[in-house]
Amino acid sequence: AAAEKGGFDWFMRKEIFEQPKAIADTLLGRYSARGELVLDEIRISPETLRRIDKIVIIGCGTAHYAGMVAKYAIEHWVRIPCEVELASEFRYRDPIVNPQTLCVAISQSGETADTLQAIRHAREQGSHVIAICNTNGSTIPRESDAVIYTHAGPEIGVASTKGFTTQLVACYLLGLYLAQIRGMKYGDEIRDVMDELQQLPAKVQELLDHASTVYELAHQLADQEDYIFLGRHVGYPAALEGALKLKEIAYLHSEGFAAGELKHGPIAIINPDMPVFVIVPPQGRDQLHDKVVSNIQEVRARGARTIVLAEQGDEHVVQFADTVIGLPTVSTLLQPVLAVVPLQLFACEVATALGNDVDQPRNLAKSVTVE
């Protein structure tokens, strides 16, 4: 068994460290020498895709958070309204889906019953379904019109890691592809983003090379029982995913919030010494970065212990951070791929320190095949 884990103590840790390769494999062959995105597997005609007027993204757990990130990217690049919904909620509310709707079902296993029932419902209404999946020949791809496979390799740890980051990459590819066939004026942006995507494996590797900093933090915080994760824009789903990892394998109370919502309620629960992880958007022209920096000040003023994930060299955050985790430079939309890595490592280390079975956490299954 030790050999199967490639010298790691857990499959989950091994899979976290496999992410540079998993991301590179997911990108492989999808960018032509002519600078065009090639997604031959999307067997829905460009004419049909040009008529789409709404996109609905469906998933559960981690896949749902990947979908939340996808919404930001797809709406920005494609300019088609995009909804994200929990698969278990979708069918039962009589959703408005029709032949002009593109349904994107995200599922690592391809067997999640909630997601499967949701796409069946969408197809009954005539909507087109694209699956984003990591498991060849599984049920959800088989019942979809097309599938984009994430090439992460088998994911054994119940808590998804490389599954998530490769889902993000597949979502970016889908968004850029839709932008490309709809002849968007973002031609240059597609090329720039593709270049950035190709650089992600090296940037993730850089974060993994500094795992020991995150492990030390995990040991410093080992006696804490409540954690908060804050983020804004695509940092919000990344915060939710960080909190989910800690719930799943460390069994700790952790909550993710949109940083802008803090003042509308969550700030009331901040206690002195409570660890608050904050994902700071890259420094840019918009005010997003500064707003999140103010949020760090707000929680710090209530005595929280702030762990700040910010772009390397971001001097604005240093004075308000108890710990800074530097993220390699990347554009805002792609930042979750990097931000989530230290959060995965943190959860894995805390769970290990607590003596939990990281690969087989209590009460959870890798793939839930009942509704």
Q: How far is the CB of 78 from ligand G6P (least distance, A)?
A: 23
Binding site for ligand G6P (CB under 6 A): 60-63, 107-109, 112, 115, 158-160, 364, 366-368
Q: Which is nearer to ligand G6P, 88 or 180 (CB)?
A: 88
- 211 three-class SS: helix
C-beta of 170: minimal distance to ligand G6P in Å?
A: 12
Residue 192 CA to residue 331 CA, distance in Å, equals 10
Least distance to ligand G6P, CB of residue 292, Å: 26
- Pick the closer one to ligand G6P by CB: 288 or 339: 339
Shorter beta-carbon distance to ligand G6P: residue 159 or 218: 159
DSSP 270-304: --TT-EEEEEPPPS-SSSHHHHHHHHHHHHHHTTP
The smaller minimum CB distance to ligand G6P, of residues 101 and 115, is found at: 115
Q: Which residue is nearest to ligand G6P (CB)?
A: 61
Q: Would you call 366 a catalytic residue per the annotation?
A: yes
Give whichever of 165 and 332 is closer to ligand G6P, judged by the CB atom. 165
Separation of alpha carbons 210 and 17, rounded Å: 12
Cβ of residue 249: shortest distance to ligand G6P, in angstroms?
Answer: 10
- Cβ proximity to ligand G6P: between 249 and 299 the closer is 249
Alpha-helical segments (H) within the chain: 11-17, 19-27, 46-51, 61-78, 87-90, 113-124, 139-142, 162-181, 187-209, 211-220, 235-250, 288-301, 315-318, 335-353
Sequence-ordered list of residues with C-beta below 8 angstroms from that of 31, at least 6 positions apart, any chain: 37, 38, 194, 198
> Which member of 5, 54, 291, 366 is catalytic?
366
- The distance of closest approach from Cβ of residue 367 to ligand G6P in the complex, given in angstroms and rounded to an integer, is 5
Output the smallest distance, CB 153 to ligand G6P, in A.
Answer: 14
Q: Per the structure block, which two tokens stand in for 86?
A: 């929990």
CA distances, 370 to each of 88, 112, 113, 118, 163 (Å) = 11, 8, 5, 13, 21
Q: Which residues contact 194 (CB under 8 A, 6 or more apart)?
A: 31, 35, 37, 176
Pull the structure tokens for residue 331. 């554009």
Distance CA 112, CA 274 (A): 35
* Residue whose token pair is 């694209």: 130
Residues identified as active-site: 366
